[in-house]
Amino acid sequence: METTQIATQVTELSYALDTFYFLVMGALVMWMAAGFTMLEAGLVRAKNTAEILTKNVGLYSIACIMYMLVGYSIMYPGDFEGGVFQSLANIGILGKDDADAAAVAAGDSYYSTLSDFFFQVVFVATAMSIVSGAVAERMKLWSFFAFSVVLTGFIYPVQGFWKWGGGWLNAGGFADFAGSGVVHMCGAAAALAGVILLGARKGKYGSKGQVNAIPGANLPLAALGTLILWLGWFGFNGGSQLQVTGVDNANAVALIFVNTNMAAAGGLVFALLLSRLWFGKADLTMALNGALAGLVAITAEPLTPAPLQATMIGAVGGLIVVGSIVTLDKLKIDDPVGAISVHGIVGIWGLLAVPITNEEASLLWQLIGVVSIFAWVFLASFVVWFILKKTLGIRVSEEEEYEGVDIGECGLEAYPEFTSAE
């Protein structure tokens, strides 16, 4: 065989490996949809469980469709000739893979465009999943779906473009490796806007300022959801290296896996210790949120820290999340699953921590990124939620809230035999 032929074969093999790596990482991120679904289903009351399940599987599906129709080309306009709706044209209608054999041979492409689309589409679903937990137990199902259409099709892609699509935040130097800001704080900002307009659940805050615990109905599901997210996060962060071929890339992906794992471990242990010291008990839900906080914290920069640093970045995230959950309750911001604290407050910590280990990042641009992404997503979401409130309405009736949204919205119960005595 001739040398040129072999060289082409090697290039094609490299292309296949990077594409396969991307698809496997994307499948892990898709699996995070199950993680959010189980986490949220475990942390709400039995009477609101079927509805939160419906929201989660529904929002994932809506995210996929909207991102294909418009979102992907808003976020990555450079990849498409002819303007904004080219993702519909190129991806949706043509199923076109720009990366053909000639392009690969010429060195213009190292993985399938469609594998990139798959990886991106599961990211937007993640952002939207964050919202569903925060507004649980009192929001109208179809208003939520309407908001999902706008967030996944428009609001998320605009700020995604700013950073990952090559926009101004990227040009300025804002660093957000896998999306502590672009994905997690984005979801939390949209959730916060919704929660403010929606108000707290009945009975959550007493007239004398006391905070009443409303325990989740099924903690094994919450633990399962957390472990699913932990696993999926290897894809979320590990896939964000975008390439595994070459010694440097392979080593980078390995370090990212290790750091992601260590940050979650650090977050869990420190949240558990803090809750033991503060509340006197090893609060499982705090531990789970601590692990997620560690994961969110490391997501902005999982590559430059050493594993011990990653553990500490996660640990600080775990401490922050406990304090944040308590504080938000004092502010009467009712977030049944702690999503705003985990993904928003800790997302900000993750972004601000980047310059500690990454010399190329600056605190200034990290702050600019935080403020601009938060402002855009919060304000745009607020407007959309506000319009929904004035039109469809966003809150279920008091009676439906009391009886549970499962019967009202879905016409069935999640556990008809376990709670029938009540």
Selected binder of a copy of itself within 21, 76, 156, 349 (CB under 8 A): 21
DSSP 96: -
Selected binder of a copy of itself within 240, 241, 285, 299 (CB under 8 A): 285
Q: Which one, 90 or 180, has the nearer CB to a copy of itself? A: 90
Residue 413 sits in the site that holds a copy of itself (CB under 8 A)? yes
Length of the chain, in residues: 422
Task: Kindly identify the residues of this chain, within the stretch 59-88, that bind a copy of itself according to CB under 8 A.
Answer: 60-62, 64-65, 68, 88
Residue 168 sits in the site that holds a copy of itself (CB under 8 A)? no
Q: Write out the two tokens for 24.
A: 């496997």
Residue 117 sits in the site that holds a copy of itself (CB under 8 A)? yes
Residue 118 sits in the site that holds a copy of itself (CB under 8 A)? yes
* Cα four-point dihedral sign 323, 324, 330, 335: negative
Selected binder of a copy of itself within 26, 347, 350, 404 (CB under 8 A): 26
In angstroms, what is the minimal distance from the CB of 50 to a copy of itself?
Answer: 5
> How does 21-45 read in b/e, with b if 16+ C-beta sit within 10 Å?
bbbebbebbbbbbbbbbbbbbbbbb
Residue 49 sits in the site that holds a copy of itself (CB under 8 A)? yes
Residue 231 sits in the site that holds a copy of itself (CB under 8 A)? yes
Which segment (173-181, 246-254, 359-367, 370-378) binds a copy of itself by CB under 8 A?
A: 246-254
In angstroms, what is the minimal distance from the CB of 262 to a copy of itself?
Answer: 6
Q: Write out the two tokens for 379.
A: 């304000």
Residue 126 sits in the site that holds a copy of itself (CB under 8 A)? no
Radius of gyration of the chain from Cα atoms? 22
Residue 148 sits in the site that holds a copy of itself (CB under 8 A)? no
Which segment (126-134, 187-195, 285-293, 344-352) binds a copy of itself by CB under 8 A?
A: 285-293
Task: Round to the nearest angstrom and report the end-to-end CA distance of the chain.
Answer: 76
Q: Are 162 and 171 in contact (CB under 8 A)?
A: no
Residue 242 sits in the site that holds a copy of itself (CB under 8 A)? no
Q: Are 159 and 73 in contact (CB under 8 A)?
A: no
In this structure, the number of other CB atoms found within 10 A of the CB of residue 69 comes to 17
In angstroms, what is the minimal distance from the CB of 169 to a copy of itself?
Answer: 27
Residue 121 sits in the site that holds a copy of itself (CB under 8 A)? yes
Residue 375 sits in the site that holds a copy of itself (CB under 8 A)? no
Q: Write out the two tokens for 369.
A: 């990124």
In angstroms, what is the minimal distance from the CB of 360 to a copy of itself?
Answer: 17
Task: Kindly identify the residues of this chain, within the stretch 205-224, that bind a copy of itself according to CB under 8 A.
Answer: 215-221, 223-224
- Residue 351 CB-half CA count within 13 A: 31
Selected binder of a copy of itself within 133, 181, 305, 338 (CB under 8 A): 305
Which segment (161-169, 275-283, 362-370, 395-403) binds a copy of itself by CB under 8 A?
A: 275-283
Q: Write out the two tokens for 271.
A: 């949240």
Q: Which one, 287 or 296, has the nearer CB to a copy of itself? A: 287
Selected binder of a copy of itself within 238, 239, 317, 350 (CB under 8 A): 238
- Write the CA distances from 304 to 29, 86, 253, 269, 287, integer angstroms: 22, 35, 12, 22, 26
- Write the CA distances from 44 to 68, 120, 409, integer angstroms: 31, 29, 16
How many Å apart are CA 377 and CA 154, to the nearest integer?
A: 10
In angstroms, what is the minimal distance from the CB of 36 to a copy of itself?
Answer: 10
DSSP 108: S
